[in-house]
Structure 1
């Protein structure tokens, strides 16, 4: 007996119903309402002319595709769908993004073929879909139904479908912990965009070297940086904690029992980490993380304070914050 696979939902959390996208298969099929479907284009061009508003794609990308959904017309857009989920697909739904998971519209393959693993289909559709207010829809969801009915349906959310020329449906991991995500190409891109990090972020699955430290550590991007990098003019000492915050601290007296202080470290915000280490000594330990907004961030742990740094593409490390 095959084990059912429960895949994690690549989507926004919707109330408290579930935290994963490929959940337990429902005993009843969802409502089939055609108005929510990205409608395949009707065949109005019997000559097969592919000019007009077709999405620009190289012929080599789709010339060998035998699995076709919808009809090729002069006003149709087209999308290559690649199956790399690890299992054969028997059904595909496409709809404008919505919180209503009972409304997926019409199934598109309609029994014409099974999309094998590592195979692809060419989807012709009308991208001029309007929402209730008359605005053009730009965000879409995809639902797939596996040929093996022991496997649960899977969902791919918030995709900019009308800008995409090719989308590949994938799984990160395997078994119960697998996460559905997609990579895609647009007409103007040469490198694929992946939705995996976005999916993990929505599901609260961001990788972190220490969850406990993250809970206690403020966002280093919120740390203000001094407007001036002028040379310091004063030298604070352990006996003068109220010294000018732009001053350059000196190494602690080797005979003193007092270690470096946060106030001393703060005077190095905006300066190279090497300058801080030269004055205050090496940290007890360090960690580095890749932040989506700021790039690589370092955390250096002293006895009574922590120093955060930013690392640029050339490897230059600059003090960003102290707490």
Structure 2
């Protein structure tokens, strides 16, 4: 009998313990789970502010800046793909009548250099009468000459890349730029080759994939009707024809060793303007760009500028 009481007491203790555990599990299961709050999408106005702030951050993060940023300043991104390290940059409005070739102050002022592939942000105040600009660069490498990029429509450009075709003394500097109005990229290579009297095909034009390159369109010449002769015994003299390009080149070569005034008297003024470069070997050298040839000048022992070569 005593054993039965002990067994019953043990069963009672076990049932109380089991009931307690079930209560604890039930309370744990009744605890509500935390619900994650949905992420709210930014309003449309906030998105605009985010885009604007991103653009401002990109401008602020630009390390290579030339010119002065103002509320009225225009800006253009310049990329170096000439293959050398640029240490100096000059930019001026283009003027074909400019004979003193004053480039103004150098813009980099030793604050940075542009390795091949590097970029710089240029701020400038746009003048209504200045639609074309010239760029002049100098290199850290002593074996590289200064390079010139002429007649560039900077007010219409958002990005410009300074390039080089070829290498050594035969290298030709040219530029590619993105026009913000037409949303196309253009190249000045064909114009540069034409000014230098070199042959070039399909080197310039847009890169929109249409296959229409600037200068490809050729118009068929219209037949000129023969003039009606007046009934007269006196023959009308034939009109004087303009000298051919070969004739002009020969006339220019005949001016080698003579002054620039003699050159102008023989073949006229250059249609593409001219510029001066300080060459390491020959000193100050002038380049006069005609339609089909280029004339170089040097300074003789008496300090006079004379024609040195024609090509």
For normalisation by structure 2, the TM-score amounts to 0.45
When Rg is computed on C-alpha atoms for both structures, the one with the higher figure is: 2
Greater share of helix residues, 1 or 2? 2
Greater relative contact order structure (CA < 8 Å, 6+ sep) = 1
What TM-score do you get using the length of structure 1 for normalisation? 0.43
